[in-house]
């Protein structure tokens, strides 16, 4: 299949390394992660370690689910796209990828110290995959060359990681027979983790649609992480990411594609989040008894 990445030779031959086993009872289930609804989307109040522990638990228990790393764009698309909304609500875990979601949650009374950024989650969990022997499959990338470079960079960053296959799909929708062939290849490789990087909202819809057709325990949509880790696009400096200014850096890189998106969605998110905050504070004031009424 064009755009496919072949599994490593040692993986195809069978890896006989001893893999450390993590006791199942120590791994949290998705239901143990508290969520906060932001514009109707249940966002997990979690950090990297807890999110990765949930993913490990899904693999250990043989569960099947998918993880969404969402920023403002994804949340706002879900406000007018019923399929996208259903995909986010139906996910196993939807983590706050963007700082505006963290700020909004904290204004609602949460104490999130940071976001769970898709590219960083992918980097950290690839390290766990290497250490624990999880098999990895890649679905996304701009083209076959980018996908091959991503796999190569993953091997360099995480020596010993088992990349058991991958596919860079065309930008057009896949025909049913093509999608079935992709599903067959994925299941034949027996991955534990399937990274998906085909952009919002395609990646979330794709995972929701394919969830019942694939045996892989964990699918995780990480968007631009494929481009970042393949070296096609540079990431914003840490200080810009921490201050929620990454969007300005991204606009400078891809102004034609990203400027209209940010100009359209960001003001709408600000207005909607303010409305929700005001509404929640009014509701709390009604439910909280005054001193005179005690």
**Tens digit of each residue's pLDDT (9 = 90 or more) over 160-178:** 999 999 999 998 999 999 9
Q: Domain extents for the chain?
A: 25-235
Confidence bin at 274 (pLDDT 50/70/90): very high
Confidence tier at 242 by pLDDT (50, 70, 90): confident
| Rounded Cα distance, 98 and 123, in Å | 17
Give the pLDDT score at 166: 97
For 16-38, the pLDDT digits (tens) are 334 344 445 578 899 899 999 99
Q: What is the pLDDT of residue 86?
A: 98
> Is 60 exceeded by the pLDDT of residue 10?
no
Share of the chain above pLDDT 90, in %: 79
pLDDT at 15 over 80: no
Condensed to tens digits (0 to 9), the pLDDT of residues 174-214 reads 999 999 999 999 999 999 999 999 999 999 999 999 999 99
Q: For the chain, how many helices (H) and strands (E)?
A: 13, 9
Average pLDDT over residues 215-231: 96
Class of domain 25-235: alpha beta
pTM comes to: 0.88
Q: Residue 260 is inside which H or E element, if any?
A: helix 255-287
Whether 7 has a pLDDT exceeding 70, the answer reads: no
Please write the tens of the pLDDT for every residue from 55-88: 999 999 999 999 999 999 999 999 999 999 999 9
Give whole-number Cα distances, 214 to 42, 59, 172, in Å.
24, 14, 21
In this predicted structure, the answer to whether residue 14 has a pLDDT above a threshold of 80 is no
Summary mean pLDDT of the chain: 90
160 torsion bin: left (phi>0), alpha (psi -120 to 50), beta (else): left
């Amino acid at each position: 299949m064009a755009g496919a990445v072949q599994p490593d030779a040692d993986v195809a031959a069978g890896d006989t390394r001893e893999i450390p086993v993590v006791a199942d009872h120590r791994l949290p289930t998705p239901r143990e992660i508290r969520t906060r609804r932001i514009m109707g989307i249940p966002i997990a109040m979690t950090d990297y370690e807890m999110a990765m522990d949930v993913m490990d638990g899904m693999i250990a228990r043989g569960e099947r689910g998918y993880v969404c790393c969402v920023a403002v764009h994804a949340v706002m698309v879900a406000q007018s796209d019923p399929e996208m909304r259903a995909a986010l609500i139906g996910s196993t875990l939807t983590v706050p990828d963007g700082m505006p979601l963290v700020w909004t949650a904290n204004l609602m009374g949460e104490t999130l110290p940071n976001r769970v950024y898709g590219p960083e989650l992918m980097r950290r969990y690839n390290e766990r995959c290497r250490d624990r022997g999880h098999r990895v499959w890649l679905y996304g990338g701009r083209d076959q060359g980018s996908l091959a470079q991503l796999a190569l960079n993953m091997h360099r960053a995480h020596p010993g990681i088992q990349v058991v296959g991958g596919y860079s799909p065309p930008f057009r929708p896949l025909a049913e027979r093509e999608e079935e062939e992709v599903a067959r290849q994925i299941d034949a490789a027996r991955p534990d983790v399937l990274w998906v990087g085909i952009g919002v909202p395609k990646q979330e819809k794709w995972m929701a649609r394919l969830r019942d057709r694939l045996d892989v325990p964990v699918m995780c949509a990480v968007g631009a992480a494929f481009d970042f880790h393949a070296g096609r696009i540079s990431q914003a400096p840490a200080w810009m990411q921490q201050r929620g200014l990454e969007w300005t850096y991204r606009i400078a890189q891809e102004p034609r594609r990203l400027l209209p998106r940010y100009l359209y969605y960001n003001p709408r998110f600000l207005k909607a989040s303010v409305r929700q905050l005001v509404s929640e504070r009014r509701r709390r004031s009604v439910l909280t008894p005054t001193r005179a009424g005690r």
